[in-house]
Amino acid sequence: MNLPEYHCLRHEQPEPGIHLVTIDRPRALNALDTTTLAELASVVARLAVDPDARALLLTGEGAKAFVAGADISQMQSLSPEQARAFSAKASRLFLDIEALPVPAIALVNGYALGGGCELALACDWIVAAEGAVFGQPEVNLGIPPGFGGTQRLPRRIAPGKALELLFTGRQVKADEAVAIGLANEKVPADALLARGMELARTIASKGPFAVRLVKQAWQRGQSLDLAQACAVESDLFGLAFSSADQKEGMRAFLEKRAAVFRGD
């Protein structure tokens, strides 16, 4: 897969199947403007149709910020119609990140505020550096969150705690983020990328078809009641038995050897 160059982010492939995207606007604390959103949308669209992709790692450039929020200098003069369009554009992108067929992991290396917190929430799980700070401080600007924060935060953590953070704009550090379930774990800042790569390698070593089915089952089941969601799971479980990965995985288990998966 040939990786194009971008102005506001870097897209790298450090190992086969593992994609690392770094938001690269450190002077603006990696704030999300329209160009950054468009470039990230381009990356996500490519990964969505890449059969060799196994995992996405998403982080920010520098030691200060993952993404400090949406770019306020660009937002401040928007009309109501323009603001709605800006929100809708980011919301579509974050839904596309959520819908990627492979796991997405946010490596939060600093401030993840407003749109940055919402970007992390669109990922499947979050690893926080020791200096990470999360929050939805939009009420301090006289606006509500616009990139999915009012919807994803109460789905990620206890609704009462989410509403507290949304109503007050209070920020939480890494330890509290882990304690309330916002982040999965905290690691030293200098170990963040290594931990992300470790997780991505673990995912890449599993049956790729099965991993994609797990994510598909989770995504499709969220809008269904339990019985319907379990029926979806049964359908996907059956589908797995049409794959070469299933045959290889079970054969390898019985033969007491490591499986060699091909992703089909």
Residue 264: band (very low, low, confident or very high) from pLDDT cuts 50, 70, 90: confident
The reply to whether 196 and 226 lie within a common domain is no
In a domain, 260, yes or no: no
Q: Is the pLDDT of residue 1 over 90?
A: no
- Catalytic, out of 130, 138, 198, 248: 138
The reply to whether 31 and 63 lie within a common domain is yes
- Catalytic, out of 118, 130, 164, 198: 118
Q: What secondary structure does DSSP assign to the chain, as a single string?
A: -PPPP-SSEEEEEEETTEEEEEE--GGGTT-B-HHHHHHHHHHHHHHHT-TT--EEEEEESSSSEEE--B-HHHHTT--HHHHHHHHHHHHHHHHHHHT-SS-EEEEE-SEEETHHHHHHHTSSEEEEETT-EEE-GGGGGT----SSHHHHHHHHS-HHHHHHHHHH---EEHHHHHHTTSSSEEE-GGGHHHHHHHHHHHHHTS-HHHHHHHHHHHHHHTTS-HHHHHHHHHHHHHHHTTSHHHHHHHHHHHTTS-------
CA-CA distance, 29 to 64, in Å (whole number)?
7
Q: Assess contact for 236 and 216: CB atoms under 8 A.
A: yes
Q: Is the pLDDT of residue 261 over 70?
A: yes
CATH of residue 240:
1.10.12.10
pLDDT 10s digits, 140-184: 999 999 999 999 999 999 999 999 999 999 999 999 999 999 999
The reply to whether 138 and 225 lie within a common domain is no
Determine the structural domain holding residue 160 and report its residue range: 9-204
Total domains, the chain: 2
Q: Is the pLDDT of residue 217 over 90?
A: yes
In a domain, 62, yes or no: yes
Active site includes 118?
Answer: yes
Q: Is the pLDDT of residue 252 over 90?
A: yes
Q: Assess contact for 149 and 166: CB atoms under 8 A.
A: yes
pTM over 0.75: yes
Active site includes 138?
Answer: yes
pLDDT (mean) for 67-74? 93
pLDDT 10s digits, 3-47: 888 999 999 999 999 999 999 999 999 999 999 999 999 999 999
The reply to whether 104 and 152 lie within a common domain is yes
The reply to whether 200 and 212 lie within a common domain is no
Q: Is the pLDDT of residue 238 over 80?
A: yes
Rg of the chain over CA atoms, in angstroms? 19
